[in-house]
Structure 1
Amino acid sequence: MSDAAEIPLLVQRDGPVVRAILNRPARRNAMSTALVEALDALLAGLREDRSARVLVLSGAGGHFCAGLDLNEVGAPAAPEEKLAQQLERNRRTGARFAAIAALPQVVIAQVEGSAFAGGLGLVCAADIALASAEARFAAPEVRRGLVAAQILPWLSHRMGRSEAARLVLQGAPVSAAEAAARGLVHEVLPDAAALAARVEAVIADLRQGAPGALAETKALMTALGGPVPEGYADAGAQAFARCAAGEAEEGIAAFKAKRPPAWAS
């Protein structure tokens, strides 16, 4: 495709630095099937690529990622088919976060604008999270009749269980300053330009580390134990699928119509 706007994931390579730009700006980079398939393919390739040392995740158009594309969640289908689709989609989401965390490369999340729902999961799966001051973070799933199934372990791991519980139950956005205070991001920069400069400075620091030592250090961190308990991924997928087949119909319709859902009245 010649038009970059038609490519859901832009991948740029500068020596050992790989930049993956979520590229659906009209949808605040919401994760469509095409986007996540491209991201999964990139992650699979990087797992075996020892010439790459850093992966930077960012979003086009001033936003990081608004989470799952609700147009796909709410697409009409037979009940059995819809349940199967939601189960598979949610399992793959959990596997994606685990794949990011397990990469031998150091992963930096460069966050502007919205980092919501699954986008928040990407932030927490990254090793280093940097944000601009206008960034906003939210786990609004319960407001859509859904559950923050696969991001919850990663939020708890990054923020602590108490702060994660407040975020996923209340569902309201928090500012970048609040996100930093709660441990969700490591540093907040004044604007997009300062954020980009800070990312480059961090990359320069990382390039001072020996490639093998960086990869071995990440492997040791993984060996300390992951954030997702055994059996949780499947339980989370089942919970998400049940909600997607129930209350989410009203929640997504209300979200699209920009009105309160029935349960909020």
Structure 2
Amino acid sequence: MNLAMVEELIQALTLANDSEKVRAIVFQGEGENFCAGGDIKDMAQAQKRHQQGEADAYYHFNRRFGQLLSLAEQSPKVVIALVDGYALGGGFGLVCVCDYVIATKSAYFALPETSLGLPPAQIAPFVVKRLGLTTTRELALLAGAFKGEKAYAINLVNTLTEDQEQARLDLDDKLKQLKRCAPGATAITKSLLLNPDNLPQEALLDLAAQQFSGQFTKANAEANPEALEGTKAFMEKRPPAWMESAPAIEQEPV
């Protein structure tokens, strides 16, 4: 993953986050691997820029990836990873910010940074949030590595499959399941779970009550308030409007 790819992913995520038509974002590697981590050649370019007088070349190279991770983690959309092959370093971090992870048994996860003389600088906070401090200490300090079955055992992975074909079928099932859920309520729920502003509990509960109320009163140009539509559809034994208008499942790369 080089800086150009990071910039493209940030652009794609920004467009997806702002689009009412997008219900989910899926990360999947092209070919046999998910992501082998940061591009060593790009690091060499950062060294060259630093030697030419660009004092913050290394900082920008590293920090921009952290901004990508934050953008993905805080996306109002449901973010899913389908992992096969290597998910190393930055690829591991990208997995950690996803809402749902499907992986094959042959998927290989690792944090090799310290074995390369580097800290997992932008990745570490997200791994701690996903796996807890004790597990992260072992992985990060000892450059740990493991395959899909252990990833499932430590709750990094939600669904474990035999191969990519089964993983794609499971992905289709999850995307169909997601269509049942109101996009506005999904975005609010994700924000409440993540609490990105680190609000104290009472303030968070106040915010939750305001957002709960808004689901009955706020409508966009094409639909009734989601809570009213959802309860009405339940009583009338029909699909809610957001399910009927949901786009067809597409798996085209961004």
Same fold at TM > 0.5:
yes
- Relative to structure 1, is the Cα distance of residues 160 and 225 closer, same or farther in structure 2, using a 3 angstrom cutoff? farther
Q: 1:126 aligns with which of 98, 107, 110?
A: 98
Counterpart for residue 137 of structure 2: 165
Does 1:73 find its partner at 2:43?
A: yes
Work out the CA distance in 2 between the residues paired with 1:139 and 1:210. Answer: 36
- Equivalent runs, 1:19-98 vs 2, <5 Å: 31-75=1-45, 76-77=47-48, 78-79=50-51, 81=53, 83-98=55-70
Work out the CA distance in 2 between the residues paired with 1:141 and 1:83. Answer: 23
State the shift of 1:172 in Å.
3.3
Counterpart for residue 180 of structure 1: 152
Does 1:144 find its partner at 2:116?
A: yes
Please list every run of 5 or more consecutive structure 2 residues that lacks an aligned counterpart in the other structure: 199-254
- Relative to structure 1, is the Cα distance of residues 180 and 139 closer, same or farther in structure 2, using a 3 angstrom cutoff? same
Does 1:217 find its partner at 2:189?
A: yes
State the shift of 1:74 in Å.
2.4
State the shift of 1:36 in Å.
1.2
> SS in structure 1 opposite 2:56?
helix
Identical columns (%): 33
Work out the CA distance in 2 between the residues paired with 1:82 and 1:166. Answer: 35
Which structure carries more relative contact order (alpha carbon 8 Å, separation 6+)? Answer: 1
State the shift of 1:82 in Å.
6.2
State the shift of 1:79 in Å.
3.9
Work out the CA distance in 2 between the residues paired with 1:133 and 1:105. Answer: 27
CA offset digits 1:146-204 (Å, max 9, x no partner): 11011111111111101011111111321111111112111211111111111111111
State the shift of 1:44 in Å.
1.4
Work out the CA distance in 2 between the residues paired with 1:173 and 1:125. Answer: 18
TM-score by length of 1: 0.70
CA RMSD, Structure 1 to Structure 2 (Å): 1.6
